[in-house]
């Protein structure tokens, strides 16, 4: 990992030195400087734009597009932190696409000890998500997401994973409370709201309340449309 980042930083440095030289040779001194400035600004814009556009695609449910953009984020990452962020986000995309084994393979490449608290939240949440999708021990999944919640209790995606884990271990009332609390920070993106309503429908069905369950299914369809 460290060697890869050294190589990537060296490549960026060489590109920054070589580009103006090449442009100056090809276009002459004044145009070479202008060309280099254009290339540099375009590259910086791409690096800054990509993560936001990838996140927007993920939020909108365009998972294939998000995956492609996160892969490009990883390829262009010039710091270890940026690469970790791209890989953590890519694992979430893979989980959303029901590719749990691929997501866990991505997570396995990360050095857990190098993660900062915000990164650890995503890592723990995604590991719990993968465990729930694979129908492994739900108590282990709940322990993982409880650790994530202790670090960041206000993240709707983490709350949602915790609610799923609570449902999986049979703590239906607790799951409903968590799902209801997901609105505490404001309105959710439509896609996440649709998923939340579907899970509430499942929870109320388990409580023997089909009318509530049907109402939440209707809400889920409304937000999914």
- For Cα atoms 93, 74, 67, give the angle at the middle one, nearest 5 degrees: 25
- Rounded to whole angstroms, how far apart are CA atoms 178 and 170? 14
Judged against a pLDDT cut of 70, whether residue 219 lies above it is answered with yes
pLDDT in tens, 104-122: 999 999 999 999 999 999 9
Distances (CA, A) of 65 to 43, 52, 94, 169: 20, 12, 12, 34
- Rounded to whole angstroms, how far apart are CA atoms 85 and 70? 9
Residue 80's nearest CA partner among 116, 54, 105, 39 is 116
pLDDT in tens, 127-148: 999 999 999 999 999 999 999 9
Residue 186 tokens read as: 């404001």
Q: Are 140 and 179 spatial neighbours (Cβ–Cβ below 8 Å)?
A: no
- Rounded to whole angstroms, how far apart are CA atoms 47 and 55? 13
Split at pLDDT 50, 70, 90, the class of 20 is low
pLDDT in tens, 155-183: 999 999 999 999 999 999 999 999 999 98
Q: Which residues contact 208 (CB under 8 A, 6 or more apart)?
A: none
Q: Are 152 and 180 spatial neighbours (Cβ–Cβ below 8 Å)?
A: no
User: Phi/psi class of residue 23: alpha, beta or left (left: φ > 0; alpha: ψ in -120 to 50)?
Assistant: alpha
Q: Are 132 and 141 spatial neighbours (Cβ–Cβ below 8 Å)?
A: yes
Distances (CA, A) of 157 to 40, 178, 195, 220: 36, 11, 11, 17
Split at pLDDT 50, 70, 90, the class of 76 is confident
Domains of the chain with CATH codes: 1-114 (no CATH), 117-225 (1.25.40.10)
Q: Mean pLDDT throughout 80-87?
A: 94
């Amino acid at each position: 990992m460290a060697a890869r980042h050294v190589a990537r930083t060296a490549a960026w440095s060489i590109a920054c030195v070589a580009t103006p030289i090449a442009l100056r040779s090809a276009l002459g001194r004044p145009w070479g400087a202008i060309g280099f400035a254009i290339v540099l600004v375009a590259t910086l814009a791409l690096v800054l734009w990509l993560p936001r556009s990838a996140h927007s695609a993920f939020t909108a449910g365009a998972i294939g597009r998000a995956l492609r953009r996160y892969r490009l984020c990883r390829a262009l990452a010039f710091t270890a932190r940026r690469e970790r962020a791209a890989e953590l986000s890519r694992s979430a995309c893979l989980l959303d696409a029901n590719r749990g084994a691929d997501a866990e393979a991505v997570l396995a490449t990360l050095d857990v000890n190098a993660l900062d608290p915000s990164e650890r939240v995503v890592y723990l949440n995604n590991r719990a998500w993968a465990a729930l999708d694979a129908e492994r021990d739900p108590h282990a999944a709940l322990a993982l997401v409880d650790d994530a919640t202790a670090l960041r209790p206000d993240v709707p995606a983490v709350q949602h994973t915790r609610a799923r884990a609570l449902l999986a271990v049979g703590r239906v009332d607790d799951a409903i409370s968590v799902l209801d609390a997901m609105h505490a920070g404001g309105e959710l993106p439509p896609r996440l709201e649709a998923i939340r309503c579907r899970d509430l429908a499942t929870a109320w069905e388990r409580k023997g309340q089909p009318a509530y369950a049907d109402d939440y299914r209707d809400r889920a369809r409304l937000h999914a449309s």
